[in-house]
């Protein structure tokens, strides 16, 4: 336990007519917790918390969330301020180092990212081994894990090597992502350019070709940059927990990052914004404006589900959604830019925010509701949506990995269970079995 946690009066738990004194703690923002670390050894009881919704698995100084109040802060900074004033590379530095960089630090960090963007040439043979049409997330997870064979990690990780590994992963994940996309559509790979900054470099690798230059749109660049900022970290979510779990075994960091990518791939996590677009496309294909779909979504007997509303943590507005909504409005207000899916999305939002069914259940638009529209406006294909999420989340994963690695004690993650299988029984010869 760190000195940042204050102890309160202990909680008394009575089990089998015996009292147990459990330490109670309070965090920086007033979060209260009961320390049950010794409960099993003292009483033989464990706690049952399916999905870990009420369990703090670690102490962390990286991200703070208050779901009831709609608060998200990176290292103490409100997400709204960072999205408005900062850029992704600066936010990545903040997550990793705890403070916003000064001009010299930011230039050095940005330069190191550019210098580390090339992946080993031999890795290109790996891309050729994937079938055409392979999902970019499958390629990304595989290629990130394979980096450990090109950059062997010493048994004792010194500060310089650790920093270079972090730089490599944040920079090379976008190169691998762009190469994955090019492979999926059968186009030649486009190498990163030293002249372009982080987001511009990625978009150029994605969309330029030997026969077609890509014209960068500053509004699109800013929208993608903001998307990455808003997805850079989100406390102990499924993929970050996977990173900490894999990291607790002292697996190499490339395998750890690949574990995070694999967990993110699921439609209930990083793939949710793709489901929003698919829902909007279906409504459009059916010729509706969303009104009938809303009615169906309220019918418990209907298979229709309103995607992009509600959140496991936020019981109020998702602060990231409010930021992205403004960006959506700005993009689709540009001359010559229109999308019938955006009109349907606005209709769904308008209806849901006035309907008692959704209000009473606190089903407000979440970040996925708008992020898919942002990526669609930028020309990102739907099978790359989760890949963009992974690029944005990489600094957060690495920040948590480093925090865990340098904690006072690294304990391998090993949850307990409640066994519900067969009781003791004894082996029978095959002739005796029914």
Which residue in the list 225, 231, 233, 311 is annotated as catalytic? 311
DSSP string, 165-182: HHHHHHHHHHHHHHHHHH
**What are the two backbone dihedrals, phi and then psi, of residue 103, each rounded to the nearest 5 degrees?**
-60, -40
DSSP string, 19-59: EEEEEEEE-TT--EEE--TTHHHHHS-----GGGTT-----
**What is the distance of C-alpha 145 from the center of its chain?**
18
Burial 280-290 (b: 16+ CB within 10 A, else e): beebbeeeebb
Does residue 257 contact residue 398 with C-beta atoms inside 8 Å? yes
Q: Which alpha helices (H) appear in 286-366, and where do they start and end?
A: 291-298, 319-332, 340-352, 356-360
Helices (H) and strands (E) in the chain, counts: 18, 6
Closest CA to 253 of 111, 144, 139, 138: 144
Q: Is 368 a catalytic residue?
A: yes
Which residue in the list 225, 233, 368, 400 is annotated as catalytic? 368
Does residue 204 contact residue 196 with C-beta atoms inside 8 Å? yes
Does residue 173 contact residue 384 with C-beta atoms inside 8 Å? no
Q: 71-74 and 77-78 as β-strands: parallel, antiparallel, unpaired?
A: antiparallel
Closest CA to 180 of 141, 150, 214: 141
C-alpha distances (whole Å) from 23 to each of 1, 8, 11, 35, 54 are 11, 7, 6, 5, 16
Q: How far apart are CA 198 and CA 299, in angstroms?
A: 45
Classify burial at 9, counting beta carbons within 10 Å of its beta carbon; exposed 0-12, middle 13-18, buried 19 or more: exposed
Length reported for the chain: 434
Residue position matching structure tokens 């008692």:
356
Active-site residue numbers? Answer: 311, 368
């Amino acid at each position: 336990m760190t000195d940042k946690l204050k102890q309160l009066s202990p909680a008394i738990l009575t089990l089998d007519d015996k009292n147990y004194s459990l330490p109670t703690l309070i965090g920086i923002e007033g979060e209260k917790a009961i320390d049950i670390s010794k409960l099993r050894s003292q009483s033989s009881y464990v706690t049952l918390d399916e999905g870990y919704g009420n369990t703090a698995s670690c102490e962390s100084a990286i991200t703070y969330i208050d779901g009831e109040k709609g608060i998200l802060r990176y290292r103490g900074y409100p997400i709204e301020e960072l999205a408005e004033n900062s850029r992704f590379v600066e936010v990545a530095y903040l997550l990793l180092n705890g403070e916003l960089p000064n001009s010299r630090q930011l230039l050095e960090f940005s330069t190191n990212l550019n210098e580390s963007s090339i992946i080993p040439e031999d890795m290109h043979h790996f891309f050729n081994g994937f079938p055409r049409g392979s999902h970019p997330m499958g390629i990304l997870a595989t290629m990130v894990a394979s980096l450990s064979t090109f950059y062997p990690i010493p048994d004792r990780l010194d500060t310089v090597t650790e920093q270079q590994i972090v730089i490599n992963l944040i920079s090379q994940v976008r190169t691998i992502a762009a190469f994955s996309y090019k492979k999926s559509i059968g186009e030649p790979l486009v190498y990163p350019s030293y002249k372009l900054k982080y987001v511009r470099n990625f978009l150029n690798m994605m969309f330029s070709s030997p026969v077609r230059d890509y014209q960068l749109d500053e509004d699109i660049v800013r929208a993608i940059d903001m998307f990455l900022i808003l997805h850079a970290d989100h406390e102990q979510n499924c993929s970050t927990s996977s990173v900490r779990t894999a990291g607790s075994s002292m697996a190499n960091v490339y395998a750890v990052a690949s574990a995070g990518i694999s967990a993110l791939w699921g439609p209930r996590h990083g793939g949710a914004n793709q489901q929003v677009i698919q829902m909007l496309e279906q409504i459009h294909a059916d010729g509706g404006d969303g009104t009938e779909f809303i009615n169906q979504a309220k019918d418990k007997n209907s298979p229709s589900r309103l995607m992009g509303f509600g959140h496991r943590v936020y019981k109020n507005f998702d602060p990231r959604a409010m930021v992205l909504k403004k960006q959506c409005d700005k993009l689709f207000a540009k001359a010559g830019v229109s999308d019938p899916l955006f009109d349907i999305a606005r209709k769904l939002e308008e209806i849901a925010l006035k309907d008692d069914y959704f209000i009473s259940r606190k089903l407000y638009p979440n970040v996925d509701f708008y992020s898919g529209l942002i990526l669609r406006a930028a020309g990102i294909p739907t099978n790359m949506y989760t890949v963009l999420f992974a690029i944005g989340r990489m600094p957060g994963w690495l920040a948590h990995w480093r925090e865990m690695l340098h904690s006072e004690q690294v304990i391998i993650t090993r949850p307990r269970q409640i066994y519900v299988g067969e009781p003791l029984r004894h082996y029978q010869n095959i002739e005796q079995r029914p």
